Amino acid sequence: MKKVLTIAGSDSCGGAGIQADLKTFSAHGVYGMSVITAVTAQNTKGVFAVQDISPLLIIQQLEAIFDDITVDAVKIGMVSQIETIEAIAKQLKKYSVNNIVVDPVMISKSGYHLLQSDAKNSLIMNLLPLATIVTPNLMEAEAITGIKINSLKEIKEASTIIHKMGPKYVLVKGGHLEGEATDLLYDGSSFMVLPSERIKTKNTHGTGCTLSSAIASNIAKGLGFTESVKEAKKYITTAIKHSFSIGKGVGPTHHFY
């Protein structure tokens, strides 16, 4: 059984964060493990409170896993603050961890800052060089590069800049552009445009978490990187197609294969 670790925040309503990651791992037939970086109080209407886990306890969680278990892939999501980022980077280097998917989570769809504003540069400096693949959405790509993105040309420019920050692959998710939900995968030499149909639903809570966890699952299972992304896109598209309401606000996607 392949083993995949998520390093991320807990979402009490189960649609995003650690909970979405573990559901995605199970749906992919891989064994899921979690290092919790923060606990959020949230529901389909928004995020109401966050408590960061102490960097020491994050280090202890990581050591407990890496001292004992071979990890086939890692997904990193909400990292909240500078001390958390530094602790994670140090442990990943110490244990020479490979196959790292970084989802540079910054702001929730409901507008809550899941990454403190002074921690953006630390994420860029400490986590992007360790990433096999980084998966920013358009707003995150803009925040990382300072480029205002309105077209595929600007997505390409942003991808090139992000690639220079260290990850082997950059997947910019174009879901927030008008028209098709086109993503762009860049490996440092060529661009691959990955279009997919736009699904009409308000229930998209946790889509970024789910996509990055699906990519990590596929990498752990031994698929090539491009194939891992393509398959993960199929997974999230189906998950959004079957999304549903659980409360008054933005509902979750459905996890099955």
Positions in the binding site for ligand PLP (CB under 6 A): 8-9, 11, 16-17, 40, 77-78, 105, 108-109, 114, 205-209
What's the min distance (Å) between Cβ of 257 and ligand PLP? 21
Nearer to ligand PLP by Cβ, of 143 and 209: the residue is 209
Structure-token pair, residue 158: 């942003």
Structure-token pair, residue 193: 């445009």
Nearer to ligand PLP by Cβ, of 37 and 99: the residue is 37
Nearer to ligand PLP by Cβ, of 116 and 160: the residue is 116
What's the min distance (Å) between Cβ of 9 and ligand PLP? 3
What's the min distance (Å) between Cβ of 236 and ligand PLP? 11
> Which residue's Cβ lies closest to ligand PLP?
17
What's the min distance (Å) between Cβ of 224 and ligand PLP? 25
- 13 a catalytic residue: no
CA neighbor of 192 nearest in space, from 225, 223, 165: 225
What's the min distance (Å) between Cβ of 11 and ligand PLP? 4
Neighbours of 146 (CB within 10 A): 8
Residues 6+ apart with CB under 8 A from 214: 24, 28, 231, 232, 235, 236
Q: Which residue is catalytic, options 208, 233, 237, 249? A: 208
Residue 8: what are its φ and ψ, rounded to 5°? -165, -175
Q: Which residue is catalytic, options 204, 210, 237, 253? A: 204
Q: Which residue is catalytic, options 32, 206, 249, 251? A: 206
As a residue count, the chain comes to: 257
Strands (E), the chain: 3-11, 31-43, 46-52, 73-76, 100-102, 133-134, 169-173, 183-186, 191-194
- 90 a catalytic residue: no
Neighbours of 165 (CB within 10 A): 17
- 251 a catalytic residue: no
- 204 a catalytic residue: yes
Structure-token pair, residue 74: 């890692």
Nearer to ligand PLP by Cβ, of 19 and 159: the residue is 19
Nearer to ligand PLP by Cβ, of 103 and 152: the residue is 103
Q: Which residue is catalytic, options 84, 135, 207, 210? A: 207
- 209 a catalytic residue: yes
C-beta separation of 207 from 238 below 8 A: no
Q: Which residue is catalytic, options 173, 174, 233, 253? A: 173
- 132 a catalytic residue: no
**What is the CB-side half-sphere exposure of residue 19 using CA atoms within 13 A?**
17
Structure-token pair, residue 221: 């299972």
- Catalytic residue set: 173, 204, 206-209
